[in-house]
Amino acid sequence: MTYRKLITTSLLLATAALAQIPTPESVLGHKPGDDFYLATYEDALGYFRKLAVASKRIKLVNVGKTTQGRDWFIAFISDPENLAQLDHYKDISRRLAISRGVTDEQAHALAKQTKPIIHIDGGLHASEVANHQHTIQLGHDLVASEEPDFKNIRQNLIVELWFSINPDGQTIVADWYRQNVGTPYEVSPIPELYQEYVGHDNNRDGYMLNMIESRAITKATLDTEPLVFYTQHQTAPFPGRIYLPPFADPISGNMHPLMLRWLNLIGMSIAQHLDDHGLTGSMHQETFDVWYPGYIDNIGNFRHTISFFTETALYRYATPHFYTVDEFPAVRQGLGTEMLYSSPWKGGWWRLADACRYMYEADMAVLNLSTKYREQMAYNKYRAARDTIEKFEKEPPFAYEIPREQHDAPTAALLLEKLMLHGIEVHQSSKPDAWVIEMNQPFAGLVKELFEPQVYPTLSQRPYDVTGWTLPYQMGVEVHAVTTPLSKQYRDSLQPIKEIKGLAAPFNRGTNASYRAINEILAAKGSVTFSGNDIATSGIDKGKLDSILTENHLRATDAKAGDSAKPIKGQRIGLYRSWVASMDEGWTRWVLEQSKFPYTNLYNADIRGGHLRDHYDVIVIPDMAERQILEGHRPGTIPERYAGGIGEEGAQELRDFVTDGGTLIAFNNASMFAVNQFKLPVENALATVRPDQFFCSGCLVNVHIEDTKNALTTGLAADTTVMFERGPAFDTKTGFKGTVLARYPRDHSPLRSGYLAGPDRLEGKIAALSAEYGKGHVLLLGFKPQWRGQSHAAYKFFFNAFYQ
| Cβ neighbours around 289 below 10 Å, total | 18
Q: Work out the number of other CB atoms within 10 angstroms of the CB of residue 743.
A: 21
Per-residue DSSP letter, 30: S
Q: How far is the CB of 132 from Zn ion (least distance, A)?
A: 12
How far is it, in rounded angstroms, from Cα 592 to Cα 598? Answer: 7
Q: CB of 298 within 8 A of CB of 217? A: no
DSSP letters for 183-229: STTTTPPPSS-SSTTTGGGGGS-TTT--SHHHHHHHHHHHHH--SEE
Closest to Zn ion by CB, 128 or 653 = 128
Q: Collapsing DSSP states into helix, strand and coil, what is residue 158?
A: strand
- Tell me the closest approach of the beta carbon of residue 233 to Zn ion, in angstroms: 3
Q: Which lies closer to Zn ion via its Cβ, residue 127 or residue 571?
A: 127
Give whichever of 31 and 204 is closer to Zn ion, judged by the CB atom: 204
Minimum CB separation from Zn ion for residue 298, in Å? 12
Q: How many helices (H) and strands (E) does the chain have?
A: 26, 31
Which one, 232 or 370, has the nearer CB to Zn ion?
232
* Nearest CA-CA partner of 724 in 745, 706, 750, 704: 750
Strand partners, 62: 73
Tell me how far, at minimum, the Cβ of 137 lies from Zn ion, in Å: 20
Strand locations in 275-394 (E): 282-284, 306-312, 321-323, 348-350
Distance of CA 431 to the CA centre of its chain: 37
Q: Return the number of the residue (165 or 672) whose C-beta is nearest Zn ion.
A: 165
Residue closer to Zn ion (CB basis): 233 or 761 = 233
Cβ distance to Zn ion smaller for residue 127 or 668: 127
CA distance linking residue 729 with residue 765, whole number of Å: 6
Nearer to Zn ion, 195 or 252 (CB): 195
- Closest distance of CB 587 from Zn ion, Å: 18
Least distance between Zn ion and beta carbon 177 (Å): 17
The least CB distance from residue 128 to Zn ion, in Å, is: 5
Burial 264-287 (b: 16+ CB within 10 A, else e): bebbbbbbebbeebebbbbbbbeb
Strand duo 554-555 + 505-506: pairing: parallel
Shortest Cβ 131–Zn ion spacing (Å): 8
The smaller minimum CB distance to Zn ion, of residues 312 and 470, is found at 312
Select from 475, 454, 469 the least CA-distant residue to 411: 475
Strands (E), 571-705: 573-576, 599-602, 618-621, 663-667, 682-684, 699-705
- According to DSSP, the β-strands at 158-162 and 117-121 are parallel
Smallest distance, Å, CB 314 to Zn ion?
9
Residue (202 or 702) nearer to Zn ion, CB:
202
Closest by Cα among 89, 158, 93 to 305: 93
Q: How far is the CB of 479 from Zn ion (least distance, A)?
A: 33
In the complex, minimum distance from the CB of residue 300 to Zn ion, in angstroms, rounded to a whole number: 17
Of 128 and 361, which CB lies nearer to Zn ion in the complex structure? 128
Q: Which is nearer to Zn ion, 125 or 256 (CB)?
A: 125
Is 149 within 8 Å of 598 (Cβ atoms)?
no
Q: Which is nearer to Zn ion, 176 or 194 (CB)?
A: 194
- Contact in structure between 475 and 415 (CB atoms under 8 Å): yes
Strand 306-312 relative to strand 228-233: parallel, antiparallel, unpaired?
A: parallel
**Which one, of 420, 62, 65, lies nearest residue 212 by Cα?**
65
Query: 225's torsion region: left (phi>0), alpha (psi -120 to 50) or beta?
Result: left
- φ, ψ dihedrals at 682, nearest 5°: -140, 145
Rule CB under 5 A: which residues touch Zn ion? Answer: 125, 128, 233
